């Protein structure tokens, strides 16, 4: 089964062709990140306009790259939530039009479920159940992946997402936007104990996390130094911050694995590219006797392949969208898609 998959939830426009949920035939991506750099973050209206400009061209490019025709497409999958609503609606509108024109099923896919499915592409042996840490610019969740379409939230951030903190702190440090990569590189060789930064424990929800206090502590530290005209050791500061984020994420993920009894742990999302977090997870999983599944860096960010992969399993589960399919800024990953009024 060949699925045409569309992703447009933020600043990447992506169209992919995926066979049977595991084999990527083509994945074409256009990013508008360069246009957002001068603003220090994603401008929703700019992102939406860029999606409109390139989405149909990417679809043609994907077909050519895969060597298939429109008649070979068996279904169309699309991210319908969560994301920047204007950006999401561009992809949803395009996917609805394509599915209608071709007379094939339309499959709504939750964006974070798509990120989880990125590991199905990278690791053909991976099957549920497993624990998955989902960390990106808009999401910080620990998910019990009971089945391909059966998921439950075990823990999540009470405020800011980990990736959002990386971007904000990198910008204040003068490392630019997006901040994950530059901050990771700046941390190499730094002393991760040079600065004492807060770690949060939420007594009634031990798997939940909070990053707002950490972000505020970093901002205050940087601003005070700037006001005094003092230079901060960038490598030490970046390393200390990365260690604090990792110590929020890794122990909770391993606690979730113990709680569920699973011996498989997966990590997905843009923050999964961070070298400190990957290193700490590898050490923790080795110590606990768990198998760790990490996607390659190219599958950590937004892409169409992951939507095509999850779309396949949603199709098998009977998930279908109609002409009334809408986009949503927020949607619980544990809830299956239901058509309005059905």
How many CB atoms neighbour CB 172 within 10 A?
17
Burial of 153 (0-12, 13-18, 19+ CB in 10 A): middle
Q: Is the predicted pLDDT of residue 81 greater than 70, yes or no? A: yes
How many CB atoms neighbour CB 296 within 10 A?
11
Q: How confident is the model at residue 312 (pLDDT cuts 50, 70, 90)?
A: very high
Mean pLDDT of 297-310: 94
- Regarding predicted confidence, which is higher, 113 or 41? 113
Q: Is 71 helix (H, G, I), strand (E, B) or coil?
A: helix
Burial of 112 (0-12, 13-18, 19+ CB in 10 A): buried
Position 53 scores a pLDDT of 95
Q: Is the predicted pLDDT of residue 232 greater than 90, yes or no? A: no
Cis check: omega of the bond before 204, within 30 degrees of 0? no
Where do the H-state alpha helices sit in the chain?
33-36, 44-66, 85-102, 111-122, 162-172, 180-187, 212-228, 234-260, 275-288, 304-316
Q: How confident is the model at residue 342 (pLDDT cuts 50, 70, 90)?
A: very low
Q: Is 140 helix (H, G, I), strand (E, B) or coil?
A: strand
Position 40 scores a pLDDT of 75
Q: How confident is the model at residue 279 (pLDDT cuts 50, 70, 90)?
A: very high
Give the model confidence (pLDDT) of 325-341 as tens digits. 999 999 999 988 876 54
Give the model confidence (pLDDT) of 233-268 as tens digits. 999 999 999 999 999 999 999 999 999 999 999 999
112 contacts 142 by C-beta, under 8 angstroms: no
45 contacts 134 by C-beta, under 8 angstroms: no
48 contacts 90 by C-beta, under 8 angstroms: yes
What is the distance of C-alpha 202 from the center of its chain?
Answer: 24
d(CA 294, CA 133): 10
What structural domains and CATH numbers belong to the chain?
Answer: 2-115+301-316 (3.30.420.40), 125-299 (3.30.420.40)
- The pTM of the full predicted model, rounded to 2 decimals, is 0.92
Position 270 scores a pLDDT of 86
Mean pLDDT of 293-305: 92
Strand partners for 268: 134
Q: How confident is the model at residue 294 (pLDDT cuts 50, 70, 90)?
A: very high
- Regarding predicted confidence, which is higher, 203 or 99? 99
91 contacts 63 by C-beta, under 8 angstroms: no
Tokens of 135: 């960390």
Tell me which residue of 317, 302, 268, 271 sits closest to 21, measured CA to CA: 317
Position 245 scores a pLDDT of 96
């Amino acid at each position: 089964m060949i699925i045409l998959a569309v992703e447009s939830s933020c600043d990447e426009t992506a169209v992919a062709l995926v066979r049977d949920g595991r084999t990527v035939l083509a994945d074409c991506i256009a990013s508008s990140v360069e246009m957002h750099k001068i603003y220090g973050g994603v401008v929703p209206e700019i992102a939406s306009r860029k999606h409109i400009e390139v989405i149909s061209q990417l679809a043609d490019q994907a077909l050519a790259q895969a060597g298939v025709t429109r008649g070979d497409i068996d279904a169309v999958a699309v991210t319908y939530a969560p994301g920047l609503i204007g950006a999401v609606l561009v992809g949803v509108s395009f996917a609805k039009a394509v599915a209608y024109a071709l007379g094939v099923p339309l499959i709504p896919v939750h964006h974070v479920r798509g990120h989880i499915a990125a590991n199905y592409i990278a690791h053909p042996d991976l099957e549920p159940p497993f624990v998955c840490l989902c960390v990106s610019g808009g999401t910080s969740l620990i998910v019990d992946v009971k089945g391909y379409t059966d998921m439950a939230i075990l823990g999540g951030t009470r405020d800011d997402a980990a990736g959002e903190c990386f971007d904000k702190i990198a910008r204040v440090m003068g490392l630019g936007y997006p901040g994950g990569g530059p901050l990771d590189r700046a941390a190499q060789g730094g002393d991760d104990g040079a600065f004492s930064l807060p770690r949060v424990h939420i007594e009634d929800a031990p798997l939940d996390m909070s990053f707002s206090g950490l972000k505020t502590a970093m901002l205050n530290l940087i601003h005070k130094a700037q006001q005094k005209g003092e230079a901060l050791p960038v490598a030490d500061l970046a390393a200390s911050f990365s260690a604090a984020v990792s110590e929020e994420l890794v122990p909770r993920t391993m606690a979730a694995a113990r709680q569920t009894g699973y011996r498989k742990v997966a990590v997905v999302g843009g923050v999964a590219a961070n070298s400190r977090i990957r290193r700490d997870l590898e050490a923790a999983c080795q110590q606990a006797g768990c198998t760790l599944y990490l996607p390659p860096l190219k599958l950590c960010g937004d892409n169409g392949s992951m939507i095509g992969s999850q779309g396949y399993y949603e199709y098998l589960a009977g998930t279908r969208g109609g002409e009334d399919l809408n986009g949503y800024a927020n949607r619980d990953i544990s809830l299956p898609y239901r058509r309005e009024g059905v």
